[in-house]
Amino acid sequence: MIRLENVEKVYRTDRIETIALSNVSLDVAEGEFVSIMGPSGSGKSTLLHVMGLLDAPTKGSVTLNGRKVESYFDAALAKVRNAELGFVFQTFHLVPDLSVLDNVEVPLLYRGTGGKERRKRAEAALERVGLSARTRHYPSQLSGGQQQRVAIARAIVGAPRILLADEPTGNLDSATGDDVLDLLKDLNTRERCTVVMVTHDERQAAKTHRTVRLFDGRPVS
Amino acid sequence: MTRHLFRLVWNRRRSHLLVGLEILVSFLIVFVVAVLSVTTFGNARQPVGFSVKDVTVVEAGLKKGMSGGDRSGEDQAGEDRERMRRALEAVRRLDGVESAAGVYLAPYGSGNARNAQEVSGRRIEYGYTEATDELLEVLKLQVVAGRWFSREDDGRPYRAAVVTRELAREVFGGEDPVGKDLPDAGGPPEEPARRAIRVVGVVAAYRERNVYSAAEPFAIFRTDLSNPADSAPSRIVVRLRPGTPRDFEEKLVTTLEATVGEWSFTAEPLEVTRDSAARRQLVPMLAGALVGAFLMLLVALGLTGVLWQNVTRRTREIGLRRATGATARHVAVQVVMEVWIVTALAVLVGGAVALQAPLFVPGGLLTAADALSGAALAALALFALTGLCAAYPGWLAARVDPSEALRYE
Amino acid sequence: MLGHTLKSTVRVLLRRKFFTAVSLFGVALTLVVLVVAAALLDHTFGPHPPEVYSGRSLGIFRASLKGKSWTRNGGPGGRLLETCARALPGAEITSFYSAQDQEVTYRDGERVSLWVKRTDGAFWRALHFRFLEGGPFTDADDAAANAVAVVNDATRRKLFGDGRGVGKTLRLDGRTFTVVGVVADVPFLRAVPFADVWLPARTARSDAEARAWVGELRALIVARSRADLPGIREEYRRRVAAVDVSAEPRFDRLESEAESFLEMGARGMAGTSPHRAALAVAFFIALAVCFMALPALNLVNLALSRILERSSEVGVRKAFGATRWRLVLQFVTENVILSLAGGALGIVLSAGVLSAVNQSGLIPYAQLALNVRVLLWGLLATCVFGVLSGALPALRMSRLHPVEALQGGPR
C-alpha cells in the first residue's frame, strides 16, 4: 500500500544541514494500522509528511497504491492527495471561517463534486463520527474532541484508502483521546482503511497492529 | 537594543518591504503637499512690495465710432497721451483722490507682458509694466536703492526704469545696478530711436501676479506723457483717501467720461481683483490637500490594521520576550521602534528623491531650502503618523500575558 | 465551488470587521476621488448642451505679440480675429465673443454683480442654449447695436422675482437693455457659453477691443466636420504668421493657435512653454500614479495580513488537494468581492459628494452628475484593483510549502 525506499530528508539552511530522515525503508500493507513512535526531533512528523506527499524526500522513492511518485509537481500531487489520502492533525486545523459542514466538504470541492452530492457525503461522514447534530456550528463553538472528530470526518469524506494522523490525540485529554483512537480503529477495521499514526503514547501504540520506532531519523527495532 | 531591532527588521524584510513602500509613497505625497504649503504660505508672508488698500484701477478704452480713422499711428499715440494727461488731471482734482498714475498693466490683471533674453548664455525673463511717475505714491512702493524715476529723467537719451531686487540680482549679480542699462535684444532693427533702458532705482518687491506667487524679477519703465517715444497707458490706478465708500467709483467714471468723451471707463478696487486671483490659486490647492488628508487617514487605518495583525501573529515571540524579562514597556517600545526603523528607511529613500525636486522645477520656483523644509515637515508628519498607528498594537503587545502566550498555538 | 467561496468570503470579511472596514473605505475613497474628478472633467469639457458641436469645434483663446525679447500675452483682439479668423475654409459657423466680465447693476438700490459676455449673433447658432422664454438676439441686433439682452434663469429670478423676464429691462454699463430671452443656467466651468447676461458685441461703448491684436476676445469656430479641423488650425496659423505688425513698437510677430477646449484647459494648467508643459504633465502623471498606488498598496498590505493569518487554512486546503491556482483564485475572488462592495459604497458616496458640491454653490450653477461612462470605468478600475491587490498576497501564500503553512506560515 505505502512503500518507502531508502528515503532521506535533509533540511538545508544557509549554514547548516539537518538530517531529518536517513535511509528509511518502510512497507505498510493494505488494511494495516501502523503507529510511529520516537522522541521529539526523531523525524516522525517528517516521515508522515513524506508519506502524505506534503514534503518531497531528498533521496529515495515513495510508492502509493503501487504507483511510484515520480514528479513532485504541485498539480499532480494535489490530485493524488485529494483522491488517496486523508489527513488528521494534532491541532485540528479546521478553517475557523467555515461551518462544520463546510469544513468537511473541503476535500470534495477540489474534486469538482456537485453541491448536493457534497452535502450528502459530508453529512454521512459527520454521522459516521457521531456529530450529525452539529453541522451548522462553527469550530470555535466545539470542544477539542468534537473538533478532532470533525477533522476526522473531513479526512474520510472523500473515501481515501489511506489515513495519515499526526498525533491526533496530542491536544486532548486521555478519555477524549481514547474515543478518537477508537474511532480511528473502527475506521480501520470496518472501512478497511490503512491508517498511519504518529503518537507519543505507548498505550495507544499498543492498540495498533505494528509500531515503527524512529531515533535520529533512523528506524530502530 | 537598537542593533537587535535593526536585525529583526532586516530578517523580516520581505514582509516589511510592502509596508515600507507604502510609507515611501505616503512620504512623497505629504512632501508635495508640504512643499506647496511652505512655498505658498512662505510667499504669502513675503512683502508684495506695494499697498493694495484704497487703490482702484480704472480701465480706459476708446469709445465706439471714435476710432482714429486714417490718421497715422503716431498721431493716434499723441492724441492718446494727451487724453491720458487730461484724464489724470481730472481724477487728481476730485475730492477723495490722493494720487493717480497711468499704467500699462495693473497688478493682478489677466494679461501680462514679459521680456526674455539670453545674456551671456543665461536666460533672463522678467515681467514688466510701464507707468507715470506718480505710481510711487499710488502704490506706496519702497525704493531700497537709487531713486524713483521722475522729471529728472525728462529729455534724456535713455528710458528710466526701476527694477525689483530679484531682477537686479539676476541681471547684475552682486554689482550695484543703479546707473546701468538693462540688456535689450531690441525690437525690429528698423524701429526708430531705440533707447537704452537705464536702471535708476531698485524697489523691494513687486509681486503683481498673485498673493501666493513667488517674488519674481520685474521692471517698471517710466512713461513720460510728453515724450513722443512713449506709448500712452490704458489704465489709471487711483489712491483714494482712506474710508472713501465704494460708490465713489461711479463718480470717478462719470467724471472721467465727461473729461475724455472719446473714452469709456470701468473701475474695480484692486482688493477685489487680488482676492479673486487668490481664490483661483487657492481652491485647487485646498482640494488637493483634502484628498491628501483622506489618503493619509487611509494609510493610517491600514497601517494600524497591519501592525495589529503583526502583533497577534507574534504573540508567542512577545510572550517569550516577557518570560525572559522584558517589561511591558520594552515590548510596546519595540513595536513602535520597529515601525520607526521601517519609516526611517522609507523616509531616507523618499528624501533622496524629494531633494532632487528643485532641479526639475523650472524657473527656480522651488528653492533647495524650501524643498528641505518640505521634506523635514513630511518626515516629521510620517514619524508622527506611524508612531500613532503603532500605539494601539504596541499597547496590545504590552498586555500580552507570558504564560498565556507560550501556550498559544 | 463558487457558493463555497462566497460563503467563506462573507464569513472572513465579517469576522475581521476592522480590516474589512478599512479596505472598503480605501476602495470607496479612491473611487470617490476618481468619479468626482471624472465628473468635473466631463462637466467642464464633455459634449453637453449648449456645446452640442464640441466634437467639431475649435476656439481661439490666446494670442501673443512677440518681439525679439518682448512678449505681450492675452486673448485675441478684434483686429486679429477679423484679419485671420473670418471665413476659414471648412468653418460652418464662426462666432466672436468677449471673455466674461463682472459688471454691476442695481435692483432697488442693491448692488447685483453679474457676469457679462458680449457676443455676436452667430454665438447662438454655434451653441444651442435651452430657452425658457423668448429667443436669442440676432446678427441684425448686433449690427444695429440694439440694447437687447439674454439673461439666465438665476439672473431673471434675482432681478425680476418670480415673473417673466422677457420685456423687462436692466441697466448695465450706463445703458438700459431689454430682455429678449431667458436661458437655463449654464455651469460656470463651461468657459465658452457661461455668463449671467449676454449682450450684443457692438453695444460695448469702447471699441478698444476691436482695434487690438491682443485683447480679451475669444472665437468659437464650428467646422463642417471633424475632418476639417486640422485644415482650419493650419490655415489660421498661416494667416496669423502672415500678419504684419511692424507698426507696433517692440513687436514683430503675432502668435495664436486655434485649439480644442481640452487643449485650452490643459494649457491653462501647464503654462505656455512646451518645456514647462511637459514637466507639468510629468508631475501630474507622477502624482496620479502615487495617488492610485497608495490605496492599492494599502489594500495589498491589508490583504496580505488577512491571508497570512490564515496560513493554517492554506495548509489544510493544500493537504486535501487544492492546487496553487485554486487557492489564488479563492483569495483573488475574496478581494474582488471586497473591492466590488467598496466600489458600490464609493458610487453611493460619490453621488452624495456630487450633489453636495452642486448644492454648495462652490462652483456657480454646477450640474455635476454621475454618468454611465464614468460609472463603468469606475467599476472596471475597481475590479482591476481587486485582482491586482489580491493576486500578490495570494501568489505569495499559494507558493507556501504545505508543511510550512501548517506550522503557521512564513516567518
Model pLDDT for residues A5-48, shown as the tens digit of each residue: 999 998 887 778 888 898 899 999 999 999 999 988 888 889 99
Residue B192 has pLDDT above 80, yes or no: no
**Domain range spanning residue B204?**
67-261
Q: Residue range B113-126: average pLDDT? A: 78
Q: Is residue B331 part of a domain?
A: yes
Domain boundary among B226, B261, B296: B261
> What is the pLDDT at residue B75?
66
What is the model's pLDDT at position C271? 53
- pLDDT tens-digit profile of A83-127? 889 999 988 888 888 899 999 998 998 888 888 999 999 999 999
C 179-198 residues with CB < 8 A to B: none
**What pLDDT shows up at residue C182?**
95
Last-in-domain residue among B261, B295, B324: B261
Residue pairs spanning A and C at CB distance below 8 A:
80
Number of domains in chain B: 2
Please report whether residue B106 resides in a domain.
Answer: yes
* pLDDT for the residue numbered B365: 67
B219 & B361 share domain: no
Report whether pLDDT(B5) > 80: no
Which whole number is the average pLDDT over C198-218? 81
Instruction: Please tell me the predicted confidence (pLDDT) of residue B191.
Output: 45
pLDDT at C338 over 80: yes
- Reduced 3-state DSSP string for chain C: CHHHHHHHHHHHHHHCHHHHHHHHHHHHHHHHHHHHHHHHHHHHHCCCCCCCCHHHEEEECCEEEECCCEEEEEEECHHHHHHHCCCCCCEEEEEEEECCEEEEEEECCEEEEEEEEEECCCHHHHCCCCEEEECCCCHHHHHCCCCEEEEEHHHHHHHHCCCCCCCCEEEECCEEEEEEEEECCCCCCCCCCCCCEEEEHHHCCECHHHHCCEECEEEEEEECCHHHHHHHHHHHHHHHHHCCCCCCCCCCEEEECCECHHHHHHHHHHCCCHHHHHHHHHHHHHHHHHHHHHHHHHHHHHHHHHHHCCHHHHHHHHHCCCCHHHHHHHHHHHHHHHHHHHHHHHHHHHHHHHHHHHHHCCCCCCCCCCCHHHHHHHHHHHHHHHHHHHHHHHHHHHCCCHHHHHCCCCC
Q: Which of A89, A106, A158 sits opposite C317 (nearest CB)?
A: A106
CB contact under 8 A, C297 and B301: no
Give per-residue pLDDT as tens, B21-74: 999 999 999 998 898 888 888 888 888 889 989 999 998 876 654 444 444 456
For residue A221, what pLDDT band results from cuts at 50, 70 and 90? low
Q: Which region among A42-56, B189-203, C94-108, C394-408 has the lowest average model confidence (pLDDT)?
A: B189-203
pLDDT tens track for C150-186: 999 999 998 998 889 999 999 887 789 999 999 999 8
When pLDDT is averaged across residues A131-137 and rounded to a whole number, the result is: 90
- Answer yes or no: do B217 and B299 share one domain: no
In a domain, B224, yes or no: yes
Structural domain includes residue B270:
no
Q: What ipTM does this complex have?
A: 0.85
For residue B62, being part of any structural domain is answered with no
What's the average model confidence in pLDDT over B274-297?
Answer: 82
Q: In this structure, is residue B172 part of a structural domain?
A: yes
* Residue B327 placed within a domain: yes
Q: What is the pLDDT of residues B279-288, one digit of tens each?
A: 777 877 887 8
With CB atoms and an 8 Å threshold, state whether C207 touches B186: no
Same domain, B97 and B218: yes
* Residue B282 shares a structural domain with residue B251: no
Q: Which chain C residue shows the shortest CA-CA distance from A82?
A: C321
Residues of A in contact with C12 (CB under 8 A): 97
pLDDT band at B407 (very low <50, low <70, confident <90, very high): low
Cβ contact (<8 Å) for C316 and A111? no
Point out the domain boundary residue: B229, B261, B293: B261
pLDDT reported for residue C184: 93
Mean pLDDT of chain B: 84
Supply the mean pLDDT for chain C: 85
Put simply, whether B62 touches C (Cβ < 8 Å) is yes
Chain C, residues 100-139, CB within 8 A of chain B, namely: 102-103
* Distance between A23 CA and the closest CA of chain C, angstroms: 21
B36 and B75 both lie in a single domain: no
| pLDDT digits 0-9 by tens, B235-271 | 999 999 998 887 888 888 889 988 888 787 888 889 8
Question: Is the pLDDT at C372 greater than 50, yes or no?
Answer: yes
Residue, of C147 and C284, whose pLDDT is higher = C147
**Both B17 and B93 in a single domain?**
no
Task: Choose the closest CB to A78 out of C8, C322, C401.
Answer: C322
The pLDDT, as a whole number, for residue B188 is 41
Higher-confidence position of C11 and C80 = C80
